């Protein structure tokens, strides 16, 4: 497990800890009320109902997750109730409550807004269900049992390093003009991605290697509501008009592929050279863009592996066993430290794309 001393030294991360959501201080005791690893649940029948509530279909990975959960839960003998909450938070709240009413033994939740599900998660816990936060942390409740995700702080670190490396490859000597984008503020991961990236980029901003020409360096200035491409494109249009009439834009920190493509669209429409742009999620169109030499990088967080890890948790719970936990100190949701199973993300550029996607049936075709 990565040392959290370095993590908490970053000022952005310290701010996150003060808000009570995200990564916990290394010194947080794991045996306080609500904290620490959850014990094994009581075993339940192999054909029990498992509920999966996913957010809106904002990326290819959520659609893939839906299909995998449906197929793999059925193959394992469970009854599956897998739903998207495309209508928003209210719809997701109703879905979770319905799963509780139907008697789901485990409810897996990819939260739209992890701060607005406390009542439903408590109802699930009171009914004897185990709650697993999938990909996004559920905040401000002691009723969430486990968190399964890729290491999202490391995702941000990888993105920050990729931005620096990509710009240096294009122009060996700085300074570099950059802009910062973050995800949706109602997604608990968005701040963690941003803080991870800023742990790499802020020292370079402070020493003058990097210049954020717009001066918009705070998370709340960089957010993209709803992770919507049109919102990122509008903001990029505004930044280019206000700050880059004569200056050259060298790089853009983008938290995911959908926003990266929107940023590139904006830059092209302005008639400017495409800067180094980061991303995440290994979306097909972005991998094509990387291979074409436009988008610089993405992050491979193979949804197949994340769903597999979640189903392994479900299988352990069905047997009355304690699921695998790799980190029981880092993810503080504001009320408890949630035991987490964290998977390792992989940075992908054109240089390693073929190797990175060699076992991916779709992306291996894109990379040749």
How far is the C-alpha of 225 from the C-alpha of 125, rounded, in Å? 31
Q: Could you say which DSSP state residue 327 is in?
A: B
pLDDT in tens, 143-193: 999 999 999 999 999 999 999 999 999 999 999 999 999 999 988 899 999
pLDDT at position 29 is 36
Instruction: Supply the pLDDT for residue 191.
Output: 95
Walk me through the domains of the chain, giving residue ranges and CATH numbers.
Answer: 11-150+302-344 (3.40.50.2300), 152-301+349-367 (3.40.50.2300)
Q: Tell me what pLDDT residue 38 has.
A: 53
Contact 275, 267 (CB under 8 A): yes
Q: What's the rounded mean pLDDT across residues 340-358? A: 97
How many other C-beta atoms are found inside a 10 Å radius of the C-beta of residue 16? 23
Are 40 and 320 in contact by the 8 Å Cβ rule? The answer is yes
The answer, yes or no, to whether residue 3 has pLDDT greater than 90, is no
Tell me what the pLDDT averaged over the chain comes to.
Answer: 89
34 falls in which pLDDT band (50, 70, 90)?
A: very low
Place of tokens 């669209």: 265
Sign of the CA dihedral with 138 first, then 139, 144, and 147 last: positive
Share of the chain above pLDDT 90, in %: 84
pLDDT > 70 fraction of the chain, expressed in percent and rounded: 89
Burial class (CB in 10 A: 0-12, 13-18, 19+), 115: middle
Size (the chain), residues = 368
Of 198-207, 213-222, 324-333, minimum mean pLDDT range: 324-333
pLDDT value, residue 42: 82
pLDDT recorded at residue 80: 97
Tokens encoding 172:
């060996």
**pLDDT higher than threshold 60 for residue 17:** no
- What does the angle CA 109 – CA 144 – CA 321 come to, to the nearest 5 degrees? 95
pLDDT attached to residue 25: 40
Please say if the pLDDT value at position 209 is more than 90: yes
pLDDT of 10 above 80: no
- Least confident span in 181-190, 231-240, 255-264: 181-190
**Mean pLDDT along residues 268-285:** 97
Alpha helices in the chain (DSSP H): 4-9, 11-19, 60-75, 89-101, 118-126, 152-170, 188-206, 219-222, 229-243, 257-269, 284-291, 303-318, 353-356, 363-367
> 38 near 67, Cβ under 8 Å?
no
State the alpha helices, DSSP H only, in 76-226.
89-101, 118-126, 152-170, 188-206, 219-222
State the pTM of this model: 0.81
């Amino acid at each position: 497990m990565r040392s959290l001393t370095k993590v908490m030294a970053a000022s952005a991360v310290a701010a996150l800890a003060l808000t009570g959501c995200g990564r916990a201080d290394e010194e947080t005791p794991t045996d306080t009320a609500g904290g620490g690893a959850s014990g094994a649940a009581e075993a339940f029948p192999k054909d029990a109902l498992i509920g999966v509530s996913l957010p809106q279909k904002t990326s290819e990975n959520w659609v893939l997750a839906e299909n995998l959960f449906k197929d793999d839960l059925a193959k394992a003998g469970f009854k599956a109730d897998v739903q998207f909450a495309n209508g928003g938070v209210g719809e997701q709240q109703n879905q979770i409550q319905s799963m509780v009413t139907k008697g789901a033994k485990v409810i897996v939740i990819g939260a739209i807004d992890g701060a607005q599900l406390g009542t439903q998660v408590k109802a699930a816990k009171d009914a004897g269900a185990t709650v697993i936060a999938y990909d996004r942390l559920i905040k401000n409740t002691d009723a969430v049992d486990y968190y399964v995700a890729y290491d999202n702080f490391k995702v941000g670190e990888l993105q920050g390093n990729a931005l620096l490396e990509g710009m240096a490859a294009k122009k060996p000597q700085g300074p570099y003009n950059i802009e910062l984008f973050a995800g949706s503020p109602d997604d608990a991961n968005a701040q963690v991605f941003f803080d991870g990236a800023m742990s790499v980029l802020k020292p370079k901003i402070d020493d003058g290697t990097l210049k954020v020409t717009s001066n918009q360096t705070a998370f709340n200035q960089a957010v993209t509501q709803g992770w919507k491409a049109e919102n990122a494109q509008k903001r990029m249009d505004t930044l280019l008009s206000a700050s880059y009439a004569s200056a050259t834009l060298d790089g853009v920190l983008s938290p995911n592929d959908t926003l990266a493509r929107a940023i590139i669209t904006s830059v092209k429409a302005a008639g400017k050279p495409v800067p180094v742009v980061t991303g995440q999620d290994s979306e097909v169109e972005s991998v094509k863009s990387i291979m074409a030499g436009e988008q610089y990088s993405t992050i491979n967080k193979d949804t197949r592996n994340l769903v597999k890890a979640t189903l392994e948790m479900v299988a352990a719970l069905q047997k009355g066993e304690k699921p695998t936990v790799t980190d029981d100190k880092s993810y503080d949701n504001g009320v408890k430290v949630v035991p987490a199973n964290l998977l390792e993300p992989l940075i992908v550029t054109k240089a390693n794309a073929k190797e990175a996607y060699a076992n991916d049936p779709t992306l291996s075709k894109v990379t040749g």
